[in-house]
Amino acid sequence: MPFGWGRVSYMWDYRSKWLELPFPVSEYEQRIDKIRKMMEPEKIDCLLVHGNRADRAAVRYLANFEDFYGGDSVVVIPAREAVGMATNAIMHGEPMHSGIQQVWMEDVRCAAHPRTVDKAWTIWDQLEDMLKERGLAEATYGVSGDYADDVVAFIRERFPKAKVKKVTGLLPRAMAIKSRLEVEQIRKACAGADAALTAVMENCKPGVSEYELAGLANEAMFRLGAEETAFPIAMSSGPRAGFKHTAPTDRKLQLGDLVYTDLGCRVGGYYSDCSRNRAVGEPTKEQRHFMEANVLINEACMAAARPGAVIGDIAKIAIEVAKENGYEDYLYFRGHGIGTTTHVPPSFFPGNPAKLEENMVFCFEPMLVKKEFGTGCVEDIYRVTKDGVENLNKCPARWW
């Protein structure tokens, strides 16, 4: 094996001493049970869940593995035999530098990443061993993941008697409905976002730069336990506020600006994604009306949100309120489920016949975007309760 390989052992006996999980192991076992029940009607003997840095949510959800190096990971969920994981997202060829100690599964097999070593076992060699040991050489496999073509090719090549089919919707469906502990974890991510939004809103004063505001926002999130940003912070003021998502610049705020920020963080694998807007100084009548209209849209829509509510019907409410306020042409009706990534079902767009279900957790962000004027968008995170929704954010909506 290559230089430097595995001196800090990644075997369970060693790494279990260092295990730090956001949840008890029973939480993960319940997820595996849930996935296995979903596999039954699909007649799948073993589900292989692929993840990489572009599609990381399911691997974090199932294994608590966070790929911060860049590689391929595959979680193995047989219908009956023991679960496991293989990965080559192994920095410096050194599993314990790569967060492997955070994975609750006992059977984890690491392969060196081709980028930093000259030769090594591959992730496919490791997977082949694992699946053979479980007696699955002739099984029916389901393969999940946006970039899982290589997994399908692996099965076809190494297990020619096995069957394989792609099952793209299964994991997103499972991940859309949250457990009690997941909701609590998202609440922590929301607390980080709330602190960051508050820091930005309170410091929107003439002469303060967008860079400084971004600095304050990120300090607040990491101080409250963020392990990473959710996405690059959006910070726009003045004319650029009408673009919604732009990176901060050295521009200093001026009296009369509209300021818009959209930010979030990841805490224990769970994301927040929230936004606020305000004027620098006293808003003009038009600015106030614009920002108020957005809050009214939010309130009207969320008053109608409950289990069984159709997303397309909620969109109609938003359009109606926007029209009443003269802003129909500037409305984008948007929202998305959130969890171990910023986008899981449900997706909010006009005409969507999908229904809300209890314990879905979603970002709601109907927005008014008027070019060269500003963005009116308050984005909060809601949990669908038994008969309505609960806002998981605490930062005030109105800063005017």
Residues 162-191 that bind its own copies (CB under 8 A): none
Within 224-243, the residues that bind its own copies by CB under 8 A are 224-229, 231-233, 240, 242-243
Cβ-based nearer residue to its own copies, 315 or 392: 315
Cα distances from 216 to residues 186, 209, 211, 221, 241, in angstroms, run: 21, 11, 9, 9, 19
CB of 240 to its own copies, least distance (A): 7
Within 326-365, the residues that bind its own copies by CB under 8 A are 329, 332-334, 336, 343, 347, 349-352
CB of 147 to its own copies, least distance (A): 6
CB of 106 to its own copies, least distance (A): 19
Query: Per CB under 8 A, does 149 bind its own copies?
Result: yes
CB of 65 to its own copies, least distance (A): 13
Interface pick for its own copies out of 73, 218, 275, 294 (rule CB under 8 A): 218
Q: Are 2 and 120 in contact (CB under 8 A)?
A: yes
Who contacts 174 (Cβ-Cβ below 8 Å, separation ≥6)?
31, 34, 35, 38, 61
Query: Per CB under 8 A, does 379 bind its own copies?
Result: no
Sole residue written with tokens 């004319």: 239
Cβ-based nearer residue to its own copies, 136 or 263: 263
Query: Per CB under 8 A, does 101 bind its own copies?
Result: yes
Interface pick for its own copies out of 29, 37, 70, 156 (rule CB under 8 A): 70
Cα–Cα distance between 366 and 69 in angstroms, integer? 35
Cα–Cα distance between 276 and 294 in angstroms, integer? 11
DSSP 106: S
Q: Which stretch binds its own copies (CB under 8 A): 77-85, 92-100, 133-141, 281-289?
A: 92-100
Interface pick for its own copies out of 19, 82, 147, 400 (rule CB under 8 A): 147
Within 259-318, the residues that bind its own copies by CB under 8 A are 266
Within 26-55, the residues that bind its own copies by CB under 8 A are 52-55
Peptide bond into 346 cis (omega under 30): yes
Q: How many CB atoms lie within 10 A of CB 377?
A: 24
Secondary-structure breakdown of the chain: helix, strand, coil percentages, each rounded to the nearest 5 = 35, 20, 40
Residue 391's beta-bridge partner residues? 382
CB of 291 to its own copies, least distance (A): 18
Strand, helix or coil for residue 333: coil
Query: Per CB under 8 A, does 12 bind its own copies?
Result: no
